[in-house]
Structures are given as C-alpha cells and as structure tokens.
Structure 1
Amino acid sequence: MKIITGKTGKPHVTSADDRALHRAEWDGDGFLSVSQPPVLVNSTTLRVYPCDIMFQGCHARVTGTYEDLTFPSGETGKKRVDILVARYTLSEEGLEDMSLLILTGQPVESSQEPQSPVYETGIIANNVSVADMPLYKIIHDGINASGPVAIASIFPPLSNKYTKEESDLTTKNINQAISKAEKTAAEATAEAQSIANDAASMAEEAIGRAEEAKETADTALSKADNAQNTADAAKTDAANAQSYAEKIATKSLVISDIVGATATIPGTDAGTTLQYDVTVELPNNTGRILVIPKNIPSGVTYMGYEASSMNQTTYSITVKAKNTNKADSNISLVVVGVARPKNLI
C-alpha cells in the first residue's frame, strides 16, 4: 500500500491514483459539463464546443472556443453511421493523452440499416495503449448528414448527490429492506417446509391408495383366473356333451313320428286267420316301425303284423287276425316310426 493524500518527500501521486478517486466519485463515464451541444457545420465538418468528460476516471476537456473535426462525405444511395469518440492513448514512454476522433462507419445500401463502427474498448486501469469513449454519432443518408446524436450521458452535479442525512436514511432503508427480506425469506422457508410436509403426507396417502389398488387388481386378477378356469371347464363339459350327443345320435333310436291306421278284418263264420294290408307314410329315413293295436273289437283275435318298407317314406303293414263275427271288424292301429337321430338331421 502507498499513501496518496500525504507528503512523502518525493513525487508519488500518479494519474492512475486520480482516476481511481474519480471512478469512486462519478461511478461511470459521461459528460461533466457541456457548454453547448456540438453541431454540423456542413456535411463533412463537426464542431465541438467546450466540455468536460469523465472516462474511466480520466478527466479531459475541450478548451478554447471550439474544435472542428472533419469526416468523409456521404455517398448517393448509401447509408452510414460515424461516431465521435474521446480516445485515450498511452505511449511506450508512459505518456498519456486524450483527443477527439471521428470513426467512419461502413456504407450500406439505402435499403439496409447501417451499423456503428467498431471502437476500442480497452480498460485504462489495465494499462492498455488505446481506449475509446463514444460521445456522439453522425447519421449519413446519401450525401446528407444529420445529428449529432448523443451517446454519452451528462452527469448531474455533485450537489445533487446524497446528503449525509439522505445517506443515513438510505442506509436505514437498506437495513430495513434487508430485515424485511430476511423475515420474508424465513416465512417463505416455513411455508415451503409446510408445503413439503403436506406433499409428503399426500405422497404417503397416494402410496397407500396405490397399495390398495394393487390388492384390488390382484383380487380381480385372481377372479379372472378363476373365471378362465370355469370357462375352460365349461368348454370341456360342452365338448364332452357334444361327444355324448354324437354317440347318442349314432347309436340310439328315437321316435320319428306316430301315425294312426285302421285295419278292416272281413267277417267270416269259420274264424280263419285273415290278412289285411295297410299303407302308412312316415318321415324320410325312418329305419323301422312298431305297430300297436289300439282297439280290438269283440270276436276278433289279433295275431300280429308284418311290415316292409316300400320306399324312404312309405311302409306296408300286413295285419293278421281272426274275425268270428259275420260283419267286418276294424282294428285301430298306432304306427310308431323309429330312426337313429343322425339319420333325421
């Protein structure tokens, strides 16, 4: 460390020391004062009037009546932006200087938007050799120039800075704001913890519901398995029933139809055995028939029958009986057709 504001017996205060103090006082770059804004004298000349600037703590000023700077004229059908900068330089010998300079931009077609030229952005405190502070820009549209337009701002006077009372009040307000922020943070933390606790509780409830849902799903799955087993058993039973039905249809007999018929036995004194033919119609594919006498008149002895198939549906029945009556007697017959079930399908 070295003392700046103090007598040491030898030169010891440098421009860098002053710049450090100025940076603390002004906190930025800008104009300290402007007697009047610069003006365009013509399309190639800018006139800058006396002013003071502060650039990275470096104080510089335009003195005298004014300072004129020239720049190239604009081009027809082109647009361009130039900027006026305050250029700081540091020579190899350690000598410092500040001067005004107009940087010429790149012309573009009138349908495009021109860009400001690139300037040096060095940090003086780092001992750079060149650093630029943009002050104003000049806008060219064809051969016409307009502006200049201010880039740097004008600092308010130091008298506008805070008084001690204002500074103390500001400090108090800051402390109150910090306290309020800490309180708010604590409340937010507590609220966040409460929300987290609620979320954890809800998560536990959700886990419980999920476990219940899993149990329900397992039960449903078990019931589904049982239902599947029942269905499989029913399918097996149905197959067995079908097989049994097929066996019955193949080997058993069923009644295909029942019809009535009448056999008339002629009267005779001798009572000899007589035969009487009866024809009946039964369903197609009836395999055999059974003839049952229903009403046998008095004086008539039933001796049996013989039956034969005439075709798929017609059967001839020969009834044998003795009739001791002189008059003809009728025997009522019930003819039962019998067939295998598969033959009737």
Structure 2
Amino acid sequence: MVELVTGHANKAHATAEQAAGLNAGILGLDDYVLNVHDKFELTVVSANKVTIGTGELVMQGRHVSQGTPEDLIVTNGSQGQKRNDLIVCRYTKGSQSVESAELVVVRGTPTMGTPTDPALNTTSPLDGGTTYDMALYRVPLDGITLGDPVPLFNVLRPMSDVWDSLSPLHLYTGSSVLRDAGSGGYATLWTFSQFRQQFGRNWDNDVCISAMNGDWAANGRQVTSVRAVPSDQRIDVMFDGRNPQPIRVNWAVMWRG
C-alpha cells in the first residue's frame, strides 16, 4: 500500500526504515564517510589505544554521527606473532526492533605467517540483517608493535564538488568550405568576433574545438589540428600541405557550463 512519508498523517508514521531507504536511494547502496568534521580520523595514542575523531557516516542508508572523539582499546599483541584487527562501525537491531550503532574493534587471529582480516557481519539491514559492520580501519600488529592503521572507507564527495561534471554540455557541429591563407598550410575558421557572434560567447581555454576532413577527396590534404592565435584574434584549421583549392572541413565546438 502506498504511504505518504513526508506529510502529516495525524499519527506517528515516518519510520527509520523509510529514512534509510531514502538515504540509500540518493547516496547509493554502499557505506560512506561524509566529508565533514574529522572524517573519523584515527590517532594512535599508545600500543593498545587509539582515538577515533568526529564524523558523519552513512552505512546501508543508516546515518551515524560521532559528535566527540572516542577512545578504543586494541588487545595487546603477542611476541613473534602477527595479527590484523578491524575497527568497524557496527549496526545492531535488538529486541523490539531497537536499533543502535557503536564503534567496535574486531580482533583478528594471531599467526606466525601472513595475517588475514577477521570476518565481519555483511548482511545489509536493507536486506533484513540485524547486525552489520562497516569497516573503517585495519590495524596491523607485529608482535607487541601496533603498525600504521589503513583506512578502509570511502569519503563521499558533496554535490558542490561534482557540480562541474553535472553542468550541461553545449555542443555545436557544422562544416565550412575553406581556402588556404596566403602563406599556405592553414585557413582561418573564425575570427574571435565571428566566433562570439555565432556561438554567443567569447573564445577561451574552456572551449574545445575539433575539426576533420569533410571531403575525403580533398586535393591530397588532411586536417591535422586546430589552433587559436590570440595575437591575431583568430582560430585556424591546420592542414598537412598547401593547395589553393577549397576544402570542406567538418567542425565541432563544445564547452560545459
């Protein structure tokens, strides 16, 4: 049955599950640290204690906030053995469907050889999982020495950072019949003023212009490149040879924004 979530229903009806579904649909079906505060920065305090800084994360649509730094204890290592521990944010749904999140150190198995990461809970709460772990750091131990922590999370970039890639693409195509300039080897496609009149903007380095032969029987010449000549206020098409006969050139002009 369809239900209006963001609307007054004269009763409590908006659920955390619905909010998580909205977050996951907008941000993606994955786990992300958001690009604010300390981004859960880890500081090694001693051989068995680390501090996790402030941050915001979204795990499987669930928003988790850490407003103050938190200390975590890493179990001491053993001489002659290696171990990988994982620091995770653990989601739990308990009795009466009460949900919570906490930072947990998941201890790995000591070994004389190459250590492996401990197993985590990976069934998403979106799929009915009642315990889920989002890995934040791998903490390697070599004997009693705590090594450099390895971040395991992705930082989700805000929309403002990717706005340029979402800006509309302006694309214009056409063709022109050109003749070599007096010195040969090139022809002027537009002066800067002609470009502005035709496309409604000034030429600058944000504009991309490409050109190619529009007539393959082009008197033995090929278009090789496009160049701008700011000193003479013009945009030229370059050829690989000189010939006074006209040549048809197909061109494309594009920019974003």
**Normalised-by-shorter TM-score class:** 0.5 to 0.7
Structure 2 CA distance, aligned partners of 1:76 and 1:145?
A: 12
What does residue 127 of structure 1 align with? 128
What does residue 231 of structure 2 align with? none
What does residue 111 of structure 2 align with? 108
CA RMSD of aligned residues (A): 1.9
Which protein is richer in strand relative to its size? 2
1:263-342 equivalences under 5 Å are none
- The answer for unaligned runs of 5 or more in structure 1 is 171-345
What does residue 99 of structure 2 align with? 96
> 1:112-154 CA distances to partner (integer Å, 9 max, x unpaired)?
2100000100111133221111011101011100122100011
1:29-44 equivalences under 5 Å are 29-32=31-34, 33-35=36-38, 37-44=41-48
Structure 1 CA distance, aligned partners of 2:63 and 2:124?
A: 15
* 1:53 pairs with 2:57: yes
* 1:80 pairs with 2:92: no
> 1:43-68 CA distances to partner (integer Å, 9 max, x unpaired)?
1111011111110010101112x100
Does the CA-based 8 Å contact 1:124-1:131 persist in structure 2?
Answer: yes
Does the CA-based 8 Å contact 1:39-1:147 persist in structure 2?
Answer: no
Structure 2 CA distance, aligned partners of 1:43 and 1:31?
A: 26
List structure 1 runs of 4+ shifted beyond 2 angstroms.
Answer: 160-163, 165-170
> 1:275-320 CA distances to partner (integer Å, 9 max, x unpaired)?
xxxxxxxxxxxxxxxxxxxxxxxxxxxxxxxxxxxxxxxxxxxxxx
The residue identity in structure 2 corresponding to 1:132 is D
The residue identity in structure 2 corresponding to 1:30 is Y
Structure 1 CA distance, aligned partners of 2:88 and 2:47?
A: 18
1:208-287 equivalences under 5 Å are none
SS, match of residue 5 in structure 1: coil
- State how many pairs are aligned: 166
Does the CA-based 8 Å contact 1:81-1:138 persist in structure 2?
Answer: yes
> 1:189-213 CA distances to partner (integer Å, 9 max, x unpaired)?
xxxxxxxxxxxxxxxxxxxxxxxxx
TM-superposed CA distance for 1:39, in Å, is 1.0
- Compare relative contact order (CA 8 Å, sep 6+) and give the higher one, 1 or 2: 2
> 1:246-300 CA distances to partner (integer Å, 9 max, x unpaired)?
xxxxxxxxxxxxxxxxxxxxxxxxxxxxxxxxxxxxxxxxxxxxxxxxxxxxxxx
Percentage identity across aligned positions? 27
SS, match of residue 95 in structure 2: coil
The residue identity in structure 2 corresponding to 1:166 is L
Structure 1 CA distance, aligned partners of 2:154 and 2:58?
A: 10
SS, match of residue 4 in structure 1: coil
TM-superposed CA distance for 1:167, in Å, is 6.2
What does residue 341 of structure 1 align with? none
What does residue 269 of structure 1 align with? none
Structure 2 CA distance, aligned partners of 1:156 and 1:125?
A: 23
> 1:212-248 CA distances to partner (integer Å, 9 max, x unpaired)?
xxxxxxxxxxxxxxxxxxxxxxxxxxxxxxxxxxxxx
Structure 2 CA distance, aligned partners of 1:146 and 1:61?
A: 27
TM-superposed CA distance for 1:169, in Å, is 4.5
Does the CA-based 8 Å contact 1:122-1:128 persist in structure 2?
Answer: yes
Structure 2 CA distance, aligned partners of 1:147 and 1:166?
A: 37
Structure 2 CA distance, aligned partners of 1:122 and 1:92?
A: 18
TM-superposed CA distance for 1:162, in Å, is 4.2
> 1:29-85 CA distances to partner (integer Å, 9 max, x unpaired)?
110135162111111111011111110010101112x10010211111111000000
Which protein is richer in helix relative to its size? 1
What does residue 166 of structure 2 align with? 166
What does residue 272 of structure 1 align with? none
- Max Rg structure: 1
What does residue 70 of structure 2 align with? 67
What does residue 147 of structure 1 align with? 148
Structure 2 CA distance, aligned partners of 1:13 and 1:141?
A: 49
- The answer for unaligned runs of 5 or more in structure 2 is 171-257
SS, match of residue 101 in structure 1: strand
Does the CA-based 8 Å contact 1:90-1:127 persist in structure 2?
Answer: no
Change (3 A) 1:76 1:34: farther
Structure 2 CA distance, aligned partners of 1:166 and 1:72?
A: 47
